[in-house]
Amino acid sequence: MQAVDSQGRGTFLELGVSIPAFFLLLLAIQLLFTPGLLRQGAHLYVPYKKIVVGGSMGNPPYQYLDENNQPAGYNIDLTKAVAAEMKVEVEIVLGDPIELEREFLAGHIDLLQGVTRADSGVTSYPFFRHSAYSQKLFANVEYPERVQSLNQLKSGRVYLSRKTPLLEQIIEDYRHLEFIPVSSHAEALKQLSNGAADFVLITHLPGVQLSKQLEFFEQELPNARIVQVGELRSELGYGYSSRKDNVELLEHVRESFTNLELSGRQKEIKEQWLGKMDNSEPSRREKSVQLGGLIFSPLLLVVCMAFYWNHSLKREVGRRSRELAIQHHQLIQADKMTSLGILVAGVAHEINNPAALVLHNLSTLKRISEASSEVLEERYAKEGDFFIGGLPYSMLRQENAQIYGEMEDGMGRIVQIVNDLKDFARKDSIDLSESTSLNRVVKAALRLLESSLRKRFATIQVKLAENLPDFSGNSSRVQQVVINLVMNAVQAGGERELDIIVMTSYDQTGGELVLRVKDNGVGISNEQLVYLCDPFYTTKREQGGTGLGLSISEQIIKEHRGRLQFDSEVGRGTTVSMYLPVMKGQSIADEKDSLS
C-alpha cells in the first residue's frame, strides 16, 4: 500500500522501507566506505599506458637533477604520485625550457610541470593550478613606501634567484635595471647582505624554506640588513600545462589531485620538500567536525541530489521556453515576410511599368539623337558653336552618348533592385534542390545593402572567384544569411572606419563552396565565440540586437547541409566562413562571375 501525504506525493512506504531506515542504510554505507576512500582515494581509469612529463632543471627543491643525475624534488614526487593514482607509467624529462617547449609542441612530451600561468611560453595552453607562486623584493635598506612595481625603482642591480621564462620577461620589460641571475635563493641573499646587490627578487612556493634562509642570515651575519620592501605578485598559478589537443589528460591530472588531497598524500609531499606550515595535531573540535561530516554527509547527499534534479528541471524548462520563443519569433517573421512579399510585388509592379516606359523612351530619344547628329555636325562645321536647350553643342556632342548611357544604367539598376527585393521577400519553397549560384546570391545581397553601407564608416572589397559550381538550395534563404553576416561585420567597429573583405572560393578537397566575410573590428573574445549562435545571445544588446540573427542563420545553413565557422581575435577583427556543399555531379561552372 502506498502512503500519500497532504500534497499527494508518495513516500518510501510503497517500497516497504521507512524514511529512518533509509537514512540508517545510507549512514552505514558511508561509515563503511568513506574512511577508506579518504585514506587511499578512488583510483581513476585513464586510456593511457605511459605519459611523458617535462620540466626545467636547476630549480631546487622543486625540480632538479640529484647527485645521480636523476630527477628529484617536490614537483617530481607530485607527478609520480599523480601517475600512480592514474595507474600509468611516467617518464620525467628535465632540461632547457626552450628545448622542452619545442618537444612539447612536437608531441613528444605530454605535460609540462612546474610552470606558472604567467610564463610567456604557456599562457596559450590549457593550465591546471595546484599551488601558487609569490614574488617578493628584498633590499638592505628600509624604503618609505612598499614597492609594488619595478617601475618604482629608478636604477640598481637586481639579483634573481633563478632564470625562468617569467623572469626573462621581467628582464625584457624593465631594461632600466641591471638583472643578474644566480644559482639559488641563498646565493642571491648573500650577495645582498655583502652589498654586491641593491635588490633581490625571489619567486617561490609557500613553505618555510625562505623563512629558514632569512633566519640563518640573521644568526650568522647579525650586521647584515635584509629587508622585504615589497611583494610584486601575491599569487601566481603554478602547476601543469597540456596542449589543446590533450586537454583530457589534464582533466585526469586534476581528478587525481582531488584524490591526493583526500588521502593526504599531497600534504605529505609538500611537507617533505617545503616544510610544515603547521606542526599542531588536529584538535578535538576538528575531530568533532570530521565526525559530524561523516554523520550528516548522507543527508547532504540526498539534498544535493534533490537540488541537482530541481536545477536540471529548471534548465530543461528554460531551454524549452527559449525554443518556443524562437519558433514564435520565426512565425512572426514569416508572417511579416509574407505580407512584405505582397506589398513588394505590388510596389514592384507600379515601379517596373513606368521604368519600362522610361527605358523605351530613352532608346527612342537616343535613336533620334543619333539620326540628327549628321545635320547638327554640318551646322557646327559651317556656323561654329551654337546652343540647344540652353547648352552649347560643343559640350553635348562630346557627352551625349555618356548622358544616355548613364540614364539607361540608372533605370536598369532600379529595375534590378526591385527584382532583388521581390526575390528576397517571396515566400520560400520547402524544396531546397534548386541549382543556385553563390556569386549571384552575394551580388544581390550587396545590392540590397548598398544604401545602408553608404551610411557606415566601412570600405568593402569584394573578391568573387570565377567558375564556381552551383549549390543546391534556396537563394533567398542563403541571401538572408549573407546580409546578416555582412551587417554584423559592418557593425563590428562602432564609429571607427572598417575594412571589410567579402570573398568566395571553392574548396576542392571538401567539395564545398566557401564565403568569407572578414573585418578588422574590435573582435570577439574566445569566451563569447562559443555562444554566438545561441538564441538570444548578443554582444550588441545596447544597439538593439536581439541575438536571433546568427541563430537563424546557422539553422538555415544546416538546412543546406553546410556550416558556419567563426575565427576572431580581440582588437584584430573577425572572420566568418560559410561552407556549402556543391551539387552532386556538378562540375566547375563555365561562367566568369565578378561584381558589377
Residue-level pLDDT at 278: 46
Residue-level pLDDT at 180: 84
Residue-level pLDDT at 38: 44
465, pLDDT greater than 80: yes
Residue with cell 510503497: 14
On whether residue 5 sits in a domain, the answer given is no
Residue-level pLDDT at 22: 53
On whether residue 542 sits in a domain, the answer given is yes
On whether residue 468 sits in a domain, the answer given is yes
On whether residue 153 sits in a domain, the answer given is yes
Residue-level pLDDT at 142: 75
Whether 397 and 450 map to the same domain: the answer is no
Task: For residues 289 and 283, give the distance between their C-alpha atoms in angstroms, rounded to a whole number.
Answer: 10
Whether 156 and 36 map to the same domain: the answer is no
516, pLDDT greater than 70: yes
On whether residue 485 sits in a domain, the answer given is yes
Judge residue 525's burial from the number of C-beta atoms within 10 Å of its C-beta, 0-12 exposed, 13-18 middle, 19 or more buried: exposed
Whether 542 and 407 map to the same domain: the answer is no
Task: For residues 165 and 96, give the distance between their C-alpha atoms in angstroms, rounded to a whole number.
Answer: 11
Task: For residues 262 and 41, give the distance between their C-alpha atoms in angstroms, rounded to a whole number.
Answer: 6
Question: Which of 20-34, 49-63, 112-126, 374-388 has the least mean pLDDT?
Answer: 20-34
Task: For residues 525 and 506, give the distance between their C-alpha atoms in angstroms, rounded to a whole number.
Answer: 29
Residue-level pLDDT at 578: 94
Indicate the residue among 206, 238, 270 that finishes a domain. Answer: 238
Whether 353 and 489 map to the same domain: the answer is no
239 pairs with which residues across the strands? 115, 129
Q: What is the CATH number of the domain that holds 484?
A: 3.30.565.10
269, pLDDT greater than 70: yes
Question: Which of 55-59, 116-120, 317-321, 470-474 has the least mean pLDDT?
Answer: 116-120
On whether residue 268 sits in a domain, the answer given is no
pLDDT band at 37 (very low <50, low <70, confident <90, very high): very low
Whether 504 and 548 map to the same domain: the answer is yes
pTM above 0.85, yes or no: no
Q: Tell me the average pLDDT of the chain.
A: 76
Q: How many distinct structural domains can be found in the chain?
A: 4
Indicate the residue among 389, 407, 424 that finishes a domain. Answer: 424
How many Cβ atoms sit within 10 Å of the Cβ of residue 158? 24
Residue-level pLDDT at 495: 62
Task: For residues 310 and 491, give the distance between their C-alpha atoms in angstroms, rounded to a whole number.
Answer: 40
Please name the helix (run of DSSP H) or strand (run of DSSP E) that holds residue 163, with its range, or none: none
Whether 444 and 574 map to the same domain: the answer is yes
Sign, CA dihedral 249-251-253-259, equals negative
Judge residue 391's burial from the number of C-beta atoms within 10 Å of its C-beta, 0-12 exposed, 13-18 middle, 19 or more buried: exposed
Whether 136 and 35 map to the same domain: the answer is no
Whether 436 and 575 map to the same domain: the answer is yes
Residue-level pLDDT at 579: 95
Q: What sections of 384-437 are H helices per DSSP?
A: 393-425
Indicate the residue among 187, 208, 238 that finishes a domain. Answer: 238
What SS3 state is found at 211?
Answer: helix
514, pLDDT greater than 60: yes
Which domain covers residue 562, as residue numbers? 432-581
On whether residue 573 sits in a domain, the answer given is yes
How many Cβ atoms sit within 10 Å of the Cβ of residue 452? 13
The segment with the largest mean pLDDT, out of 107-121, 252-266, 486-500, 527-541, is: 252-266
Q: What is the CATH number of the domain that holds 141?
A: 3.40.190.10
Task: For residues 547 and 532, give the distance between their C-alpha atoms in angstroms, rounded to a whole number.
Answer: 8
Whether 492 and 564 map to the same domain: the answer is yes
Residue 133 in contact with residue 116, Cβ under 8 Å? yes
Whether 387 and 486 map to the same domain: the answer is no
Q: How many CA atoms are closer than 13 Å to the CA of 46, on its beta-carbon side?
A: 26
On whether residue 121 sits in a domain, the answer given is no
pLDDT band at 438 (very low <50, low <70, confident <90, very high): very high
Whether 142 and 231 map to the same domain: the answer is yes
Whether 453 and 403 map to the same domain: the answer is no
* pLDDT tens, position by position, 209-245: 566 667 666 666 666 678 888 877 666 778 898 988 8
Residue-level pLDDT at 339: 65
